């Protein structure tokens, strides 16, 4: 799992399945870009979300937490920068998903 300060690389920057994503986010991570973990959030039922030093979005109301919070990004979209096997595994998963579409 990621820790605050870890350098991560985005292995899945495809948000096309969310047509209204810019209603919640001003900025999104891009595939192959490097980011620094600013905060790690755990949301029951959805897993870990990351906030990144290089990306800051305005708070939105999240019903699950009953309040305004900055929306994070699913941790599965990232790999530790110093873990090349995890980066390649993330790319392999994306290629497999694309082949199945």
Q: What is the CA radius of gyration of the chain?
A: 14
Domain coordinates in residue numbering, the chain? 7-100
Tens-binned pLDDT, residue by residue, of the chain (101 aa): 899 999 999 999 999 999 999 888 999 999 999 999 999 988 777 789 999 999 999 998 877 778 898 989 999 999 998 755 555 555 555 655 565 55
- The C-alpha torsion from 5 through 9 and 12 to 14, rounded to 10°, is 90
Q: What is the pTM of this model?
A: 0.75
């Amino acid at each position: 799992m990621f820790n605050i300060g870890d350098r991560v690389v985005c292995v899945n920057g495809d948000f096309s399945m969310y047509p209204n994503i810019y209603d919640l986010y001003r900025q999104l991570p891009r595939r192959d870009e490097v980011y620094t973990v600013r905060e790690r959030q755990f949301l029951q039922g959805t897993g870990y979300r990351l906030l990144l030093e290089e990306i800051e979005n305005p708070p939105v109301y999240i019903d699950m937490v009953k309040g305004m919070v900055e929306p994070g990004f699913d941790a599965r979209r990232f790999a530790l920068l110093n873990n090349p096997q995890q980066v390649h595994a993330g790319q392999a998963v994306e290629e497999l998903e694309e082949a199945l579409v």
